[in-house]
Chain A
Amino acid sequence: MATETVVAPKAITMADYKGRVDPDWCPGCGDFGVLAAVQKALVELQIPKHEVATISGIGCSSNFPGFIETYGMHTLHGRSLPVATGMKLANHAMTVLVTGGDGDGFGIGCNHFVHTIRRNVDLTYIVMDNQIYGLTTGQTSPTSRIGMKTKSMPYGNIETPLSPVALALAAGATFVARGFSGDQKHLTELIKLGIEHKGFSFIDVFSPCVTYNHDNTFQWFRPRVKKLEDNPEYDSTDWAMAMEKSVIWGEEIPIGKFFERTDLPTLHGAEPVLNSGPLVHQNNRIPAEIAQGFVQELM
């Protein structure tokens, strides 16, 4: 199908990406900062909004696509990554962002998380990690710390939280970063790097829940987060070093770009079926001589 692309003559601004409705997140929610950082990153990269898809699962942070003006898609709980993979493979000319929370991504959707990573699908996956289930009014999540009291574990969590950064590294992610909603400038830079990365980029963002998580608050994170970029010894091409840093948690918690490698092909780049361009623009009729060959095999 032929599409006529009209390039916007004027520069892309924050107004272009303003959503049709204002976010209904709780006042003070960490997700506001993430939304602003994504919008800023897209503006700074000057990507037209019609070339962007924002795909989410279900949860507070998964309402994100409704608050930014792109081709948005609000899918099923935990299923944003396969939906986004299908979308990217069918139209790899689009910039595809995936947004969601820790329950959505590391709980119900963890299977897809691992497999999407190993496929190196060219997506930017931004997880607003608040270590709690918010929209269901406060239950333990896969990243809740041991001892944290929630409605589902009123005597305190006894299950070891997973480290999303370590998990992504172990699964073979080609871009792994961690940001903090309280440091928007730094987060914006990480998101830009993630979008520009050719392959799967994963950005875990500390995005505190002001209503249900009273342990890991903005105030709690602020003195602890330390940027890897400030450490002249840190080498983000060194996987072992990234792995070592990924499990540090306590008085000091590293944020920044943990790891990037650029030597592996993306899934769409490795698939010869896409040699003639995005699938959606390809002819959907089988040429007669090829069709004849298919039938001839059966004769």
Chain B
Amino acid sequence: MSESFVVGIGGAAGQGVATPGDIFAKIFSRRGLHLNAYNAYQSIIRGGHTFLTIRTGPQKISNTGDHLDLLIPLNQDTMDRHLRLLTAGGACLYNADLIQPGTPAEGVQLCPMPVSKMADITRNKVGQNTLAIGAAVNMMGIGFSVLEGVLAEQFRKKDKAVIDENIHLARTGYEYASKNFQALAWPLPMTDARYAVLSGNIAMAMGGAAAGVKFYSAYPMSPATGVLHWMASHARQAEIMVRQVEDEIGVVTMAIGAAHAGVRAMCATSGGGFALMSEGMGLSAQAEIPIVVIDCQRAGPSTGVPTKTEQGDLWQMLGAGFGDYPKVIAAPLDIADCFKLIPEMFNLTDRFQCPGIVLCDLLLSEGRLSVDPKELDFNPVIDRGEMITSNGTGDHEPYKRYKITESGVSPRAIPGLPGYTHVVSSDEHDEDGVLISDEYTNAGKRRAMMEKRMRKMDGIAASVPPPKLHGPADADVTLIGWGSTHGVIHEACELLREAGISANHLAIRWLVPLHGDAILDLLRGARHTIIVENNFSGQFARYLRSETSFVPDGNIRKYDGEPFAPHHIVEAVKEQLAGKTKLSVPAHEIMV
């Protein structure tokens, strides 16, 4: 496995965990290193416990890993909770005035800083953090000038005195470490690459901008709010209309109104907000007005655990709204994919005039990943489908908005054009848009309209690639996952191979339509199949069974709010291959 280095910083909310995180992320990315970061936090603005993990290295980092190399506890609580994650060669940097060290594992260096003797920080409540950053950068073998530059940038909106004070504190910590602590065993390498560091929420917002989204509406809801924040702060430059609406019913219906007028419209929410959007999904499908809705899953049901991750909304998405209607559902595999998926989804929803759901989760929405800027393509293919945007010579057949066609797609005239006035409707209607539910009831027309709409699913299926199996075809074990578990399963496969168990990986991105036959073909020769997912009931396992009758040999599930770590999967696979169980529910060792 490739080399990596993991830093953990923890404290109470409001103690300033985010800033050191940003500074380390900048230092790593400017050395040309990849990184993957995840912040475990609670639904509280001040107090509680928050723990940020940043893993870095020269190769792509698919998850935050199993252990820490450097721990910076900002309070006693963090020391007590996380010291055990440090492994040999690691170090713990802490304020010796406030924090009592625990007993670390063998080979772990305790680095107490006598903060009150090092500097006067009585008026700077995050002064200890800056001292620790300075010390950490020294131990990583990085020159001070790099940190100085990043600090100046981090505090660029503050007075010069604030910048100078922080640089002074950082230098004090840096020098103290050089005299008193051992450098870390693995000095951080450097490469010529440069990466953008972004969250999944920023990636999806930017992916929307790249896709030509002109209308974005939202109601604040964790963990989807980051999409709104990016959209709102970049709206004027990107020329996107961004609206905060009174509730998610208004959010989705406002997006539908804008989409009907002819622009690409998007909205994002979490499971609770999506519940309010369900009827809107039906309107989008029935009136044949394309929209894209992002669901950033958090632990449910009800208000649930607002700051914790889960893959528990799959069946809500599958069953959203009543009646049968065409729709597309896809789950991005990582943060780079959060960007890439949005234009792809819009091309499908525009071509097939139906709703599309991007099923993300808190792990990706709020996690951060280094991404090659080339992957953030602001010039993707934009296919708006069959749209009538000009009345040409003015001569045309009487326009039928819901004309019955072989593909099920009827060309969409954009309101405002002379000669194409029509009615779009949530009631069942005929080709002309005349209501057939209230006006008169006509079984033949109803059937024809239903079949017209549902024919679109054939076209969508033909436009979406079947999944692929990664790894050796004759592996001992096949791990099946969907969406955000891609990264951690990938690393688990590597660790299993190192342990002498060959493993391959089937990652599902397109959920609806699901290429059931292709999946069965791939799994037919598998020796031992295990479905890995972040929910209680095995929502994907149940879905796969309902679509294909496939039943895996075992399941690994986690529903404690935290994402999988690689060793959770590795240990579960070992116990299942040994025949000890068919359902593993790994325990999350650290309370966060």
Contacts and interface: CB of A to CB of B under 8 A. Distances in A.
A47 interface: no
Interface string B180-204: 0000000000000011111000100
Given A75-B253, A76-B426, A294-B206, A91 B262 contact: yes
A55 B434 contact: no
Taking residues whose C-beta sits less than 8 angstroms from the other chain, chain B's interface range is 35 or more
B293 interface: no
Contacts of B275: none
A273 B261 contact: no
Interface in B412-437: 414-427, 432-435
B256 A86 contact: yes
Given A21-B434, A89-B215, A286 B238 contact: yes
Contacts of B256: 75, 83, 86
Interface string A40-53: 00000000111101
Interface pairs A-B: 7 shortest CB-CB: A86-B257, A284-B212, A90-B261, A72-B423, A291-B378, A86-B258, A298-B196
Given A74-B423, A280-B262, A298-B202, A93 B416 contact: yes
B237 A71 contact: no
A110 B312 CA distance: 32
Contact of B391 (A6, A73, A82): A6
A272 interface: yes
Interface in B363-411: 373, 376, 378-379, 382, 387, 389-392, 394
B249 interface: yes
A86 B198 contact: no
A144 B102 CA distance: 70
A55 to B, nearest CB: 7
A298 B417 CA distance: 41
A82 B435 contact: no
A82 B390 contact: no
B29 interface: yes
B265 to A, nearest CB: 7
Nearest to B434: A21
A49 B415 CA distance: 10
B283 A75 contact: yes
A94 B435 CA distance: 24
B239 interface: yes
B239 A282 contact: yes
B261 A91 contact: yes
Contacts of B247: 111
Contact of A58 (B253, B382, B426): B426
Nearest to A53: B415
Contacts of B239: 273, 276, 282-283
A24 B256 CA distance: 27
A86 B435 contact: no
A66 B264 contact: no
B229 to A, nearest CB: 13
A51 B426 contact: no
A84 interface: yes
A118 B116 CA distance: 54
Given A90-B241, A295-B373, A273 B235 contact: yes
Interface string B233-245: 0111111111101
A71 B417 CA distance: 9
B263 interface: yes
A71 B419 CA distance: 10
Contacts, number: 227
* Residue of A71, A87, A290 contacting most chain B CB atoms (<10 Å): A71
Given A72-B433, A280-B261, A299 B206 contact: no
A84 B194 CA distance: 45
B235 to A, nearest CB: 6
Contacts of A244: none
B254 interface: yes
B382 A284 contact: yes
Taking residues whose C-beta sits less than 8 angstroms from the other chain, chain A's interface range is 35 or more
A55 B418 contact: no
Contacts of B379: 285, 288, 291
Contacts of B287: 73, 75
Given A1-B414, A295-B376, A90 B253 contact: no
Contacts of B389: 1-3
B398 to A, nearest CB: 10
Contact of A86 (B234, B238, B254, B424): B254
Nearest to B392: A4
A267 to B, nearest CB: 9
Main secondary structure of the interface of B (DSSP, over half): mixed
Interface of B: 29, 194-198, 202, 206, 209-210, 212, 214-215, 217, 234-243, 245-247, 249-251, 253-265, 279-280, 283, 287, 373, 376, 378-379, 382, 387, 389-392, 394, 414-427, 432-435, 438-439
Given A1-B390, A279-B241, 6 more contacts: A6-B391, A50-B421, A90-B258, A273-B236, A280-B261, A294-B234
A92 to B, nearest CB: 9
A295 B194 CA distance: 12
Contacts of A282: 214, 239
Given A50-B421, A280-B263, A288 B236 contact: no
A112 B246 contact: yes
5 contacts: A3-B416, A88-B257, A89-B258, A90-B241, A112-B250
B283 A3 contact: no
A66 B243 CA distance: 29
Given A66-B439, A298-B202, A299-B194, A94 B283 contact: no
B416 A94 contact: yes
Given A4-B391, A286-B209, A290-B238, A74 B425 contact: yes
B417 A86 contact: no
Interface in A89-108: 89-91, 93-94
B206 A66 contact: no
A253 interface: no
* Residue of A8, A49, A53 contacting most chain B CB atoms (<10 Å): A53
A82 B253 contact: yes
A109 B249 CA distance: 10
A273 B242 CA distance: 9
A293 B262 CA distance: 27
A137 interface: no
A272 B238 CA distance: 12
Contact of B257 (A21, A83, A111): A83
Given A82-B245, A291-B210, A71 B422 contact: yes
Contacts of B246: 111-112, 114-115
A247 interface: no
A72 B390 contact: no
Nearest to B420: A50
Given A1-B414, A111-B246, A63 B438 contact: yes
Contact of A271 (B241, B254, B382): B241
A276 B239 CA distance: 9
B280 A76 contact: yes
A85 interface: yes
A299 B373 contact: yes
A27 B254 CA distance: 34
B212 A82 contact: no
A246 interface: no
Contact of B260 (A4, A87, A273, A293): A87
A76 B279 CA distance: 8
Contacts of A6: 391, 394, 418-419
B261 A87 contact: yes
